[in-house]
């Protein structure tokens, strides 16, 4: 199974504020949806809460929670660690026939997953919000190489520019 991370990251490595995304970029949301559709998605408890506590459709939703969660919403798999999440993703892929899983947040889960990720799907957002409180770790060029970079796009409503970059582990 290919272990992937997908995230939108500012020039200052910011990814969120008060458990919410920093931008509303429809082009990035479409990329996220198209890239992850049909694959297991792994997230921390707070990221799941930021999705209004509803599973993302047409994906196996795996939520890491260190606390017991007896009333977990239907449609999610609750695990206690990233290793258990990867095992649950492997099992889900046996049914769906896919070969990738995606870590979708938050900051702590990203930092942990970066140690074992094979591929990074990074939307580089050319902005530097100063009030962010969640950050993505810097990508070590000794560990990851740029595999592809899409042309820069501009969001028509905000004027913010961004591009999709895929990194592969060396």
Domain positions in the chain are 2-169
- Topology (CATH level 3) of domain 2-169: Dihydrofolate Reductase, subunit A (3.40.430)
Task: List pLDDT tens digits, range 111-141.
Answer: 999 999 999 999 999 999 999 999 999 999 9
Task: List pLDDT tens digits, range 40-59.
Answer: 999 999 999 999 989 999 99
Is pTM, for the whole model, over 0.95? yes
SS (H, E, C) the chain: CEEEEEEEEECCCEEEECCECCCCCHHHHHHHHHHHCCCCEEEEHHHHHHCCCCCCCCCCEEEECCCCCCCCCCCEEEECCHHHHHHHHHHHHHHHCCCEEEECCCHHHHHHHCCCCCEEEEEEECCCCCCCCEECCCCCCCCEEEEEECCCEECCCCCCEEEEEEEEEC
């Amino acid at each position: 199974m290919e272990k992937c991370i997908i995230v939108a990251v500012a020039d200052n490595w910011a990814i969120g504020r008060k458990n919410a995304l920093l931008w509303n970029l429809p082009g990035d949301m479409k990329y996220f949806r198209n890239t992850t559709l049909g694959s297991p998605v792994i997230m921390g408890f707070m990221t799941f809460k930021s999705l209004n506590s509803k599973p993302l459709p047409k994906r196996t939703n795996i939520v890491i929670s260190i606390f017991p969660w007896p009333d977990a919403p239907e449609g999610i798999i609750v695990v206690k660690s990233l290793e258990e999440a990867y095992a649950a993703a492997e099992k889900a892929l046996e049914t769906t026939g896919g070969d990738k899983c995606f870590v979708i947040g938050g900051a702590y889960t990203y930092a942990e997953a970066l140690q074992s990720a094979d591929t990074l799907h990074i939307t580089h957002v050319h902005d530097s919000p100063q009030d962010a409180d969640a950050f993505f770790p810097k990508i070590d060029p000794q560990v990851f190489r740029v595999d592809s970079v899409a042309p820069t796009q501009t969001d028509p409503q905000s004027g913010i520019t961004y591009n999709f970059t895929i990194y592969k582990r060396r």
